[in-house]
Amino acid sequence: MVVEGLLYTKDHEWVRMEGDVATIGITDYAQQMLGELVFVELPAAGKELAAGDELAVVESTKAANDVYAPTPGKVVDVNNELESRPELINEDCYSTGWICKLQVADTKSVEDLMDSTQYEEYVGSL
């Protein structure tokens, strides 16, 4: 499932922009490939990140995967619920399973991300 109105990366992160704040999570495709999530390592609030920096780690019964910052910015909020309930990502990765929020340093940086149509085509080519 790909949600219209969100932006996507080739590393399977999704981004919901609200002003200059980006809510970030992993896509439905990513959570399906990982399987049942058992642990999420969240970033620290206040952490400054460049685009491509490790943002979080999601661990499943199959593997551990890094989640990357899709834009440069500062972590302003984290979904602490994931510490005790990582399965929220499996249940609803686009809503209750969000990982963190970034105050985006350069809103033009999101122009490089894919829209839902482009991401669907990308996933279809994998």
Q: Is the pTM of this model over 0.85?
A: yes
Which DSSP helix (H) or strand (E) runs through 30?
Answer: helix 28-34
Residues 6+ apart with CB under 8 A from 103: 20, 21, 73, 74, 76
Tokens of 103: 């105050």
Assess whether pLDDT exceeds 90 at residue 91.
yes
- Model confidence at 6, pLDDT cuts 50, 70, 90, reads very high
Tell me how far CA of residue 33 lies from CA of 22, 47, 78, 103, 105, in angstroms.
24, 28, 23, 29, 31
pLDDT in the model for residue 107: 87
Reduce the DSSP state of residue 80 to 3 states and report it.
Answer: coil
With 0-12 / 13-18 / 19 or more C-beta atoms within 10 angstroms meaning exposed / middle / buried, residue 5 is exposed
Assess whether pLDDT exceeds 90 at residue 80.
yes
Share of the chain above pLDDT 70, in %: 100
Contact between 27 and 118 (Cβ < 8 Å): no
Residues 12-40 have a mean pLDDT of: 97
Residues 17-43 have a mean pLDDT of: 97
Residues 106-122 have a mean pLDDT of: 95
Tell me how far CA of residue 89 lies from CA of 15, 53, 72, 121, in angstroms.
14, 21, 23, 23
Assess whether pLDDT exceeds 90 at residue 35.
yes
